[in-house]
């Protein structure tokens, strides 16, 4: 089997691939993540994951490259990683008591070809108090996460329900990834 490269600096994606027992290397591509005018959330995630995979393919041309990009969307607004804790609190107040969508673009590059797909999952937050938001933001858990929360950590205490792929909310939809790899003859 070809060497596998995870084109992402995300510790959550790294952990998810490790949970599958895969041997891989991590490569952190430098990709401009600025949203383009008129670009939908799905288009943004797909473009960014493809760009990361293609950067990885240039650096490791004989390898299988896996890349992803995750965002949170509510009322058409994209919630990326918060720039500071005040923004994190604003995001959590916006998500409180409501349902939002988590979208992950997934890309696989190998043999000069890049496959791109996306996964959509609905997440429903319970109503949060200002004290709960303040406590969670102070924990720092959501500092580097889209939507300012982590489903696999204390953020789970805020989530009433999930419709769709749990691993998508963590940052890498494993079932979708497995299907994409299998389509290219890579069996995990």
Q: Would you say 51 and 71 are in contact if contact means Cβ atoms under 8 Å apart?
A: no
Neighbours of 100 (CB within 10 A): 19
Task: State how far the alpha carbon of 100 is from the alpha carbons of 92, 103, 115, 145, 186, in Å.
Answer: 11, 10, 26, 15, 33
130 catalytic residue (yes or no): no
Place of tokens 């673009």: 105
State the catalytic residue, choosing from 69, 84, 118, 130: 69
Q: Would you say 50 and 113 are in contact if contact means Cβ atoms under 8 Å apart?
A: no
Q: How many residues make up the chain in this entry? A: 188
Q: Token pair of 14, please?
A: 């790294």
Closest CA to 5 of 20, 23, 21, 19: 23
Tell me which residues are annotated as active site. 69
């Amino acid at each position: 089997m070809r060497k596998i490269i995870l084109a992402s600096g995300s510790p959550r994606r790294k952990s998810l691939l490790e949970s599958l027992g895969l041997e891989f290397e991590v490569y952190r591509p430098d990709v401009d993540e600025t949203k383009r005018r008129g670009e939908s959330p799905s288009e943004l995630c797909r473009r960014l994951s493809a760009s990361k995979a293609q950067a990885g393919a240039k650096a490791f041309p004989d390898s299988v490259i896996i890349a992803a990009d995750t965002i949170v969307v509510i009322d058409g607004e994209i919630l990326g990683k918060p720039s500071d804790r005040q923004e994190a609190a604003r995001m959590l107040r916006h998500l409180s008591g409501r349902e939002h969508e988590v979208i992950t673009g997934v890309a696989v590059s190998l043999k000069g070809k890049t496959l791109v797909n996306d996964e959509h999952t609905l997440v429903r937050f319970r109503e949060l108090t200002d004290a709960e938001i303040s406590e969670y933001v102070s924990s720092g858990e959501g500092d580097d996460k889209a939507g300012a929360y982590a489903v696999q950590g204390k953020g789970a205490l805020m989530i009433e329900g999930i419709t769709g792929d749990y691993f998508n909310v963590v940052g890498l939809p494993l079932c979708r990834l497995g299907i994409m790899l299998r389509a290219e003859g890579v069996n995990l």
